[in-house]
Amino acid sequence: MGCTRKFLAPISVNSRGSEILNNPLFNKSTAFKGGERDRLRFRGLLPPRRLNMKVQKQRILEEIRAEDSMIRKNMILEEVHDRNETLYHRILVDHIEEMAPIIYTPTVGQACKEFGMRFRRPRGMYFCEEDRGHMAAMVYNWPQKDVHVIVVTDGSRILGLGDLGANGMGIPIGKLSLYCAAGGIAPHRVMPVVLDVGTNNEELIKDPFYLGMQRPRLQGTKYYHLVDEFIQAVRHRWPNVLIQFEDFSSDKAQKLLNKYRDEILCFNDDIQGTGATTLAGVLGGLRAKGEQPTSLGEQRILIAGAGSAGIGVAQVLMQAMMEHGRTEEEAKKCFYIADEKGLLGTDRIHELSPEQAMFARDEDGGLSLNEIVNKYKPTMILGMTAVGGLFTEQLIRNMAKHCERPIIFPLSNPTTKAECSAEQAFEWTDGKCIFASGSPFEPVEMNDGRKFYPTQCNNMFVFPGIGLGVTLCGARTVSDRMLYVAAEALANYVTEDELAEGKVFPSINTIRDVSKKVAIAVIEEAISTGQASKLTEKDISDLDDFVSRKMYDPIYVPLIEKRTIEI
């Protein structure tokens, strides 16, 4: 990609001098040209030699690469984020495969755990019980006028790490970095949010450096009222903003989604984003086996984990089966969903949520994973349990005994929570499985010399594109069909050659293009169903060009001082 030369219209800024150097959205540091240093009145405040962005980038890359520890690499990059957002996003865009694991999954998990200890500068907004009644005013404290995307968490289920309270802020920050770098949303248009409703994590309550409210989580109506006040407040200031719910515990996640999905522009990434991404991976897996997408409705799908992600994946896969002509009843029969008590059965219906109950089976409630595999011979197993190592050698070998090429997706994050590793899955199936994982794994070389390239089944392949699409076209809600077409666009992106190498997702290096394709699919769907308030049928013909032009590209733009005319 690199820094292409184009004519750039200058931006006029309201500040000057050292204020600009301290504003990460405008700061170019040593790259400011002489003329700008004069115009903006900070001549003498920078070392004299001017470096260009390429050299600045090289220096940061060298610093990162000289460091072995992932968390230290993360700190180096986040410091750049705090100083110079343009350079930060340039580094992400140009080296996304190398940088994504540093600023996002898996390292972001550790960054959250150590959030209090590592705190330097604030980023994002916090809303807590003390702010009740003030939120409508508080949102005007945010310095940017035109926010397009908010990622919000209550910190109750951060990746597979559980309740991390306000430390969860690392997740919205990481997700929004991908929105900018991978989804082409400009950094001044995103806002990370933590709803600090307390924490039930005793360690945090005792931790002297914890930065959130040190008290038990709000529950019941108080909780839902707080969320509601936040939603009303941000929508009052930014009526068209997209709200992405992230890492809420399963009970809250589904309820909030049900409450808001038809009212406002929102989606839950762990339910719907994971669902769409996994569907794309499953379609890729079927293609790799030489099967048609219609065969989806003939699969026997074992899902380990009945939380928001497990059920979300089942819902999206079921929807896809129905797109291909199955009835709901037929589709439901393809699923075997198990939680820590075994296969979800109607015998436990009273303790299941309505969404779980839908998939409860009349027979064999409580069967273990091994028993399910032996009895029902699933063609795929998807792990969403946050229990590292749950897929044992025996379980995976049994999968391979009953199915020539089983699809094995351990999707829990971060890496320590993955149900099995790539190496284990390939070894235990003698290289026959089709594999993808939530966190990244290195390529696997078998004893006989065969090499496999595991790809990442991570919602980063869809959420930036969905966000880009819905905000560009002015959609009023995120519909199920939008998620479906997003999954289809992602699945179609994978080439035959990639499938032959065992890859069911595209390379992360192509993520900007993937996001563009996802955005286009979402916009087409919105236009054709009359949900795009900003675009019409006639815009469909050059959507590719339109979306490309709208995508943020991190390059230095000349700055000029905004002049106020005094009369």
Residues marked active site are found at: 104, 175
Residue 401's region, left for phi above 0, alpha for psi from -120 to 50, else beta, is alpha
The stretch near Mg ion (CB under 5 A) out of 3-11, 195-203, 232-240, 265-273 is 265-273
Instruction: Tell me if 247 contacts Mg ion by CB under 5 A.
Output: yes
Which CB, 270 or 419, lies closer to Mg ion? 270
Which CB, 174 or 297, lies closer to ligand OAA? 174
270 is in an annotated binding site: yes
157 is in an annotated binding site: yes
Would you give the end-to-end CA distance of the chain in angstroms? 47
413 is in an annotated binding site: yes
Q: Is the CB of residue 246 less than 8 Å from the CB of residue 171?
A: yes
413: partner contacted, choices ligand OAA, Mg ion, none (Cβ within 5-8 A by kind): ligand OAA
Q: Tokens 């003498």, residue?
A: 44
Neighbours of 306 (CB within 10 A): 25
DSSP per residue, 81-126? HHH-HHHHHHHHHHTHHHHHHHHSTTHHHHHHHTHHHH--S--SEE
Distance CA 553, CA 11 (A): 15
Residue nearest to ligand OAA (CB): 105
**Cα-flanking dihedrals φ and ψ of residue 502, to 5°?**
90, 10
- 445: part of which helix (H) or strand (E)? strand 444-445
Which CB, 366 or 389, lies closer to ligand OAA? 389
Instruction: Tell me if 36 contacts Mg ion by CB under 5 A.
Output: no
458: partner contacted, choices Mg ion, ligand OAA, none (Cβ within 5-8 A by kind): ligand OAA
In the complex, the smallest distance separating the C-beta of residue 171 from ligand OAA, rounded to whole angstroms, is 7
Where would I find the beta strands (DSSP E) of 118-160? 125-128, 149-153
Q: Please tell me the count of residues contacting Mg ion according to CB under 5 A.
A: 3
455: partner contacted, choices Mg ion, ligand OAA, none (Cβ within 5-8 A by kind): none
Residue 332: both structure tokens together: 């439901």
Residue 541: both structure tokens together: 């013909």
- The answer to whether the peptide bond before residue 414 is cis (omega within 30 degrees of 0) is yes
Which CB, 110 or 458, lies closer to ligand OAA? 458
Distances (CA, A) of 524 to 335, 473, 486, 532: 31, 9, 11, 9
In the complex, the smallest distance separating the C-beta of residue 408 from ligand OAA, rounded to whole angstroms, is 18
For the chain, give the longest Cα–Cα distance: 85
105: partner contacted, choices ligand OAA, Mg ion, none (Cβ within 5-8 A by kind): ligand OAA
166: partner contacted, choices Mg ion, ligand OAA, none (Cβ within 5-8 A by kind): none
List contacts with ligand OAA (CB under 6 A): 105, 159, 247, 269-270, 413, 438, 458-459
Strands 451-452 and 407-410: unpaired
In the complex, the smallest distance separating the C-beta of residue 153 from Mg ion, rounded to whole angstroms, is 8
Which CB, 275 or 406, lies closer to ligand OAA? 275
482: partner contacted, choices ligand OAA, Mg ion, none (Cβ within 5-8 A by kind): none
The alpha carbon of 234 is separated from its chain's Cα centroid by a whole number of angstroms, namely 21
Angle between helices 543-550 and 463-473 (to 10 degrees): 100
In the complex, the smallest distance separating the C-beta of residue 31 from Mg ion, rounded to whole angstroms, is 35
DSSP classification of residue 563 = P
458 is in an annotated binding site: yes
Which CB, 37 or 123, lies closer to ligand OAA? 123
**Cα-flanking dihedrals φ and ψ of residue 84, to 5°?**
-155, 95
Residue 258: both structure tokens together: 């049900």
Q: Is the CB of residue 391 less than 8 Å from the CB of residue 417?
A: no
Selected binder of Mg ion within 36, 270, 419, 525 (CB under 5 A):
270
Which CB, 270 or 427, lies closer to ligand OAA? 270
In the complex, the smallest distance separating the C-beta of residue 142 from ligand OAA, rounded to whole angstroms, is 24
In the complex, the smallest distance separating the C-beta of residue 248 from Mg ion, rounded to whole angstroms, is 9
525: partner contacted, choices Mg ion, ligand OAA, none (Cβ within 5-8 A by kind): none
Which residues of the shown chain bind Mg ion in the complex (CB under 5 A)? Answer: 246-247, 270
Feature table: binding site for (S)-malate: 157, 413, 458
Feature table: binding site for a divalent metal cation: 246-247, 270
Feature table: binding site: 157, 246-247, 270, 413, 458
